[in-house]
Amino acid sequence: MATFISHSPDETFALGEEWGRAAKSSWVIGLTGDLGAGKTQLVKGIACGLGIQARIQSPTFALVNEYQDGRLPLAHLDLYRLDTPAQVVGAGLEEYFHHPSGVVVVEWCERWPGLNPRSPVRRVRITLLTESSREITYEDSGN
């Protein structure tokens, strides 16, 4: 498991940008962290690293936003409003985990405890340290 300490939103963005540049097709990134921890800021960096020019917004109400204009397509999912695996399946999101096209980033991935994609996955936990600092731990599997 690797740990990165971010001292600002810009540093969180830069880490995401680095991951976006290194991302390969069918990569799944699962994000866990409290509200305001910086999950969406990290996704904005990933999108930038993928070369996506569109404005990145959290898909809390839409559940998923897709961006096609980068080096790889990006699907940005938010499971905050879903409480059970059955709701994830009922919302039609299961396909993103089992047959991802491009890169899939999932905020609140812990809301689907059965998350076992058939693709490489990076599990990320963002923990608030101070108002501006975050501890970002991550581990890759299935690569």
The domains found in the chain, sorted by start residue, are 2-141 (3.40.50.300)
43 phi and psi angles, rounded to 5 deg: -65, -40
pTM: 0.91
Residue range 36-54, pLDDT digits in tens: 899 999 999 999 999 999 9
pLDDT, tens only, 116-131: 656 688 999 999 999 9
Cβ-Cβ contacts under 8 Å for 69 (sequence gap 6 or more) = 51, 52, 53, 54
- Regions of the chain with pLDDT less than 70: 113-119, 143
